[in-house]
Amino acid sequence: MMKTHSAFRLIRQTPIASLGIEVAEFEHLQTGSMHYHIASDNEENVFMVAFRTMPMDSTGVAHILEHTALCGSERYPVRDPFFMMTRRSLNTFMNAFTSSDWTAYPFASQNKKDFNNLLDVYLDAAFFSRLDPLDFAQEGHRLEFAEAENPESALEYKGVVFNEMKGAMSSPVSTLWQTLTKYLFPTATYHYNSGGEPACIPDLSYEELLAFYKRHYHPTNAVFMTFGNIDPYEHQEKMHEQALKRFDRLDDKLEVKDEKRYFAPIIVEEAYACNEDDLHNQTHLVMGWLLGSSINLYDSLKANLLSKVLLDHSASPLRHALETCGLGQSPSPLCGLEDSNREISFMCGLEGSNPEQAAAFEQLVLDTLQKLADQGVDQDQVDAALHQLELSQREIGGDGYPYGLQLGLGLLSSAIHRGDPIALLDLDPVLERLREDVKDSQFIPGLINKLLLNNPHRVRLTLRPDAKLAERREQAEKDTLAEIKAGLTDEQKAKLVAQAKALQERQDQIDDADILPKVTLQDVPADMKEVVGIAHQQPVRVTSYDRGTNGIVYQQVVLPLPELNQEQLSLLPYYVGSVAELGVGQKDYMEMQARQAQVSGGLSVYTSLRANISDPSQLGAYLVISGKALARNHQALDELMLDTFQHVRFDEHQRIRELIAQRSSRKRQSVTGSGHSLAMLASAAVFSPGARLAHVNSGLEGIRFIQQLDKKLADEGQMQELTGTFAALHQRFAEQARQVVLVAEGERLEECIARLSPRWYVAGDIQSGHWQPQLADVARLQAWKVNTQVNFCAKAYPTVHSGHADAPILTVLGEYLRNGFLHRVIREQGGAYGGGAGHDAGNGVFRFYSYRDPRNLATLADFDRAIDWVLSSPIDQAKLEEAVLGVVSSLDKPGSPAGEAIQTFHNLLHGRTQEQRKLFRQRVLETTAADLRRVTETYLQIDKASAAVVTHEQGQKQLQEAGFSAFSL
């Protein structure tokens, strides 16, 4: 029995054998706050406090509050404790999230002292935030003159969240989701944009923010989640003593009410801003259903099962219909189930369509569903969907978010809606029930009838492009600001000038950082964790890793890439993206998709490309075939991978055409979410073959290339040429020697190795894939026009490779610049959502960046000022130590058991030995102030820089006047 603090009562304690954890549910007696603790022997401890936040407008109150709450609290009255703690910590994760009906504050650390430091700060920030009006003005919105001290200059809206949401809502997919939920939920909180609509954000007053905080950020309305090997008693003692004991239980029970139902389906059409010349094939068509409560686990899993049967892969009947109907380019990114809200919604749709095809699209969906309801679904497809549910239940994550946080976020929605979160961790009994249910051939047809065909709460949305919408919105904003300015009295103008001055002074003030707790270099572990593999020679070479994978086997087959010409390199991403999606031998792609779902967690093929550790002009290049399966299916996985690689067919022209169209659409839609990464790739491409190849394959140039390729493939001759190139590439790869990577639990590895097919063996050098790509030059100054309202800026400098003694120092410099200068100037003063700098040691390039930025040329000038700041100001020893801590924390960040093993293998494949990585880490720890100044002076010479900006039409014109070359997507 877990030890419980006297202020809490233990409700229940449940072991989850399938995950090797134990979960306990507690209630705080005084306030009614719930605490869920997931006990694990994992050293990465996780904490999260979440509040039910259910806005009833689109002013972004919950989102702005999330930002503002982290700007100083009762015990820590500094203006930026959150970002200051990111620098004084060994955290493996720190952030805050605003969802549609909750706001969460999570962190993770492998160091107990650090964990408790962060817990002190998070508890105070959540429950005793200062909420200074100037922080509201900085993070949320404010009126300010373009020339802050000149009341005669134009009036502007400013604010971090305001600019963030301008960037977020530039994405057509974000607009699509917000528009669909507006109609699916006519009365509930989901009707509104919890992040904030840019046109509505200025309507939020400071007083409304305070009222929302007082009502929602109360322990009665809070859920605590903890994970790891720290005793829950210790957490509860801090939670009670530092926060909860100062509150009483509220009678006000916040919850989302069930949505009122439609009695007949509705059809709606709206527009999104699209600044492209050709609006043909730019429409999104989506159908959405509201199903029922998300907190009934059995009902939720039935809906998940139905969604997987219908949409999981290209052989799933509804996805197949969408992919092959010819009414759009590809299935919508919204296809699937949304079960985190109070009520579940199911969606399917098309992108790359046209408004006049909406009725045909709806009929296609309904006819497909009716046919399935009448004729039933193949039992193999249903069994495969259940198999996928089991795989997702068993897999231990941790490569993106910490594993404990993944578990906690998975439970959060149920806890927020007062369901049974613990049941979500132990799906085996419900899965067993479903296995019995699906033996009835009418089970899936019954779900289709009940949840979809006979459900009148259905929306058909047409979201069409409008080339003038952004212009009208911008003009409306200008008109509003002009009207506001015209109505300002001299006293009001003076107040705005005074506020801008006060905010500037607040941003420039230097707080006493010693108010905050911290870890020091003495708290850094002496050594790095090491994952060790064992080499076996079969005849095929095998490297095995004994890891706790919870009954899942991970297998990769790796072979060196031969040297390729520029055309082959341009087409390489589309070849690797097709191999696991096509037919094999006598089976077509639908049969192979079904086979993958039945025995595996899916196959993927990708390239592993890294610059040589001592010569960035040389690339290490490998092809990787990757798969995973339950241990009982390992031999079937191996056979599937081998058959796919040996007998893949490139004669399915229509399928390849669909895959290219889908990839083109996804790439285009990704720009507004990853514009900073794309800008950094473009700026770095000038200096490094590896970065240039990334720019050509997956960067802005790659997006432009696939859009052109997609159009060309309408010509059958071009298709023949493409598939001929694919086949030739594949033949060259098939001739290369291979090696295999296996990750599983120790007791299974020997059997897995014995099951490997000897047909994998090909004689030759398994590590011969080293060559220099020959690619066209890239412009030094690039301005890329895309569909966005904000900018993403990047500037790059040539430096040194990862094996050079200066590479670790340059990595520390990136943290030092971000912490000491860029965060304040780019984010707080400039209004961008984010900004920073970092060293890409793999390609020997140092890069500055900004994210969702209202500025462009001014930001690029600030990057130059950052260099001057390092060279002209004394190096702050405390800030240097913080930068070192940040780098070490990143180097020591854990991953999933399988992910760590596979990363270790690929590090070794590319010459990154444990000894070399230890030396890099040691040099980080030994970085001095003189080192920082020396590498800045040596490498960050402004006349050697390149720059790239992802921007809008007006921004591109400004940049062209400054000498930038113009490009468009």
Q: How many angstroms separate the CA atoms of 500 and 480, rounded?
A: 20
Closest CA to 44 of 344, 399, 393, 480: 399
Residues 86 and 191 in one domain: yes
pLDDT(504) > 80: yes
Total-model pTM: 0.93
If you average pLDDT over residues 791-796, what whole number do you get? 98
Burial 346-360 (b: 16+ CB within 10 A, else e): bbbbbbbbbeebbee
pLDDT(1) > 80: no
Residues 305 and 378 in one domain: yes
The pLDDT-based confidence of 428 (bands split at 50, 70, 90) is: confident
- In the listed set 498, 515, 532, which residue is the last one of a domain according to the structure? 515
pLDDT(468) > 90: yes
Task: For residue 365, tell me if it sits in a domain.
Answer: yes
Residues 274 and 369 in one domain: yes
61: burial class by Cβ within 10 Å (0-12, 13-18, 19+)?
buried
CA 940, distance to chain mean position in Å, is 30
If you average pLDDT over residues 595-623, what whole number do you get? 91
| 396-423 confidence digits (pLDDT tens) | 888 888 999 999 999 999 999 999 999 8
Q: How many angstroms separate the CA atoms of 421 and 295, rounded?
A: 8
Give the per-residue pLDDT at 604: 97
Residues 805 and 860 in one domain: yes
Task: For residue 527, tell me if it sits in a domain.
Answer: no
Query: What is the average pLDDT value for the chain, to the nearest integer?
Result: 94
Contact 758, 540 (CB under 8 A): yes
CATH number at residue 34: 3.30.830.10
Residues 83 and 132 in one domain: yes
Residues 107 and 192 in one domain: yes
Give the per-residue pLDDT at 613: 86
CA 948, distance to chain mean position in Å, is 23
Residues 238 and 323 in one domain: no
Task: For residue 893, tell me if it sits in a domain.
Answer: yes
pLDDT(348) > 80: yes
Contact 48, 405 (CB under 8 A): yes
Closest CA to 368 of 392, 350, 391: 350
Q: How many angstroms separate the CA atoms of 468 and 273, rounded?
A: 7
Task: For residue 940, tell me if it sits in a domain.
Answer: yes
Residues 165 and 283 in one domain: no
Q: Report phi then psi at 369, rounded to 5.
A: -65, -40
In eight-state DSSP terms, residue 150 is -
Lowest mean pLDDT among 140-149, 359-368, 444-453, 805-814: 140-149
Task: For residue 732, tell me if it sits in a domain.
Answer: no
Task: For residue 146, tell me if it sits in a domain.
Answer: yes
| 267-321 confidence digits (pLDDT tens) | 999 999 998 888 999 999 999 999 999 998 999 999 999 999 999 999 999 999 9
Residues 393 and 497 in one domain: no
pLDDT(546) > 90: yes
Range of the domain at 273: 266-398+419-466
User: Into how many domains does the chain fold?
Assistant: 3
Give the per-residue pLDDT at 527: 87
Give the per-residue pLDDT at 17: 85
Residues 244 and 214 in one domain: yes
Contact 129, 64 (CB under 8 A): no
If you average pLDDT over residues 413-435, what whole number do you get? 91
Closest CA to 243 of 519, 23, 24, 30: 30
| 318-333 confidence digits (pLDDT tens) | 999 999 999 999 999 9
Residues 243 and 375 in one domain: no
Task: For residue 98, tell me if it sits in a domain.
Answer: yes
| 167-217 confidence digits (pLDDT tens) | 999 999 999 999 999 999 999 999 999 999 999 999 999 999 999 999 999
Q: How many angstroms separate the CA atoms of 257 and 255, rounded?
A: 6
Closest CA to 289 of 313, 267, 306, 265: 265
Contact 64, 125 (CB under 8 A): no
Task: For residue 634, tell me if it sits in a domain.
Answer: no
Residues 231 and 280 in one domain: no
Give the per-residue pLDDT at 768: 78
| 631-652 confidence digits (pLDDT tens) | 999 999 999 999 999 999 999 9
